[in-house]
Amino acid sequence: MGTPVDPVPEVIRQALADASDAPGYPLTAGTPALRAAIAAWVSRACGAGVDGLGVLPTIGSKELVAWLPTLLGIGPGDVVVVPSIAYPTYEDGARLAGATVVRTDSLTSVGPTSRVRLVWVNSPGNPTGRVLPAAHLRKVVDWARERGAVVASDECYLPLGWSAEPVSVLSPQVSGGSYDGVLALHSLSKRSNLAGYRAGFVAGDPALVAELLKVRKHAGMIVPAPVQAAMVAALQDERHADEQRERYRARREVLTAAFTGAGFTVEHSEAGLYLWLTRGEDCWQTVDWLARRGILVAAGVFYGPSAGQYVRVALTETDEHVAAVAGRLADA
């Protein structure tokens, strides 16, 4: 269903343990070591220049997805745009703020008079595994800048490109070399198997990040000190992330072959942690057919009304379970 199952890498556990004597309040802004590690990683992984980049650790990325509209002062009468098929928390967060949600992938369908304050993009996408090309992201950023809206790019699957290379909103080909109005949200949950630690961060427009920091300080949205230390270790080590990516690559190959062999069509799924599948029938029929074989998948309708004929299969299962799924589908 999507929760990491492989062990937390030893280098990260050691850093957490070494920082466990933490009687004082941690820094909401992150320790200098963590801020430097985030900036260095964003520069490497997103192709972003570090000059002028705002960075801030978050308690996993879900909390920021859910609270970003509120933290930015978005409220009733404002519009938040979310992808047509999307991780549900974008909509939840807009509703928590009392804003109006518009579900679309095409900004031309948003009326010229509507008060759009925030546009969410998610590439690689959950649940579809779709990668948005740089030119598409650039258009979104240009459109938002013209209207003074913020683009929040949820990039928590960025390191997991398979048949397409994901691009960050912070890369110069998208941002035009300026961080104005753009925020990229990242997470160590999947890259480093740290979902249980709650370790994420945001990078982008320094003025927006400063505003977030100010509110979050007062709201007590602080990453615990031992987790901050663990994040430094995780961000400075690419080896464990490469090993984890190879595990997912192998599972993806087995599952793609197994589901295709059983008559499923795989759509998008060019990156990220999911296979987006259809049998051309209502998703609950597919969920039911698979459940009878002891295979649990997520129904497409969870992610948007246009996804009613799809199911989402996560690559986050042990090799043993993945092999069992392949075996059951082969016998189906």
Ligand X SMILES: Cc1ncc(COP(=O)(O)O)c(C=O)c1O
| HSE value, Cβ hemisphere, 13 Å, CA-based, for 16 | 17
Contact 302, 261 (CB under 8 A): no
Does the protein bind ligand X through residue 222 (CB under 6 A)?
no
Name which position in 28, 38, 62, 117 contacts ligand X (CB under 6 A): 62
Pairing of strands 310-314, 274-278: antiparallel
Does the protein bind ligand X through residue 192 (CB under 6 A)?
no
Three-state SS for 30? coil
Name which position in 45, 79, 151, 195 contacts ligand X (CB under 6 A): 195
Does the protein bind ligand X through residue 303 (CB under 6 A)?
no
Does the protein bind ligand X through residue 60 (CB under 6 A)?
yes
Window contacting ligand X (CB under 6 A); options: 37-45, 61-69, 250-258, 312-320: 61-69
Does the protein bind ligand X through residue 28 (CB under 6 A)?
no
DSSP secondary structure letters along 37-93: HHHHHHHHHH----TT-EEEEESSSHHHHHHHHHHTT--TT-EEEE-SS--THHHHH
Q: How far is the CB of 126 from ligand X (least distance, A)?
A: 4
Pairing of strands 200-204, 54-58: antiparallel
Cβ distance to ligand X smaller for residue 16 or 329: 16
Edge-to-edge strands of the sheet including 310-314?
Answer: 265-267, 274-278, 310-314, 298-299
Does the protein bind ligand X through residue 189 (CB under 6 A)?
yes
Closest to 52 in 3D by CA, of 218, 194, 182: 182
Cβ distance to ligand X smaller for residue 314 or 326: 314
Kindly determine how many residues on this chain lie close enough to bind ligand X according to the rule CB under 6 A: 14
Cβ distance to ligand X smaller for residue 54 or 93: 93
DSSP state letter for 7: P
Cβ distance to ligand X smaller for residue 118 or 262: 118
Give residues 117-176 in contact with ligand X (rule: CB under 6 A): 122, 126, 154, 156
Cβ distance to ligand X smaller for residue 117 or 186: 186
Name which position in 87, 201, 248, 303 contacts ligand X (CB under 6 A): 87
Does the protein bind ligand X through residue 316 (CB under 6 A)?
no
Q: What is the dihedral of CA 217, 218, 223, 225, to 10 degrees?
A: 80
Contact residues toward ligand X (CB under 6 A) are 2, 60-62, 65, 87, 122, 126, 154, 156, 187, 189, 195, 200
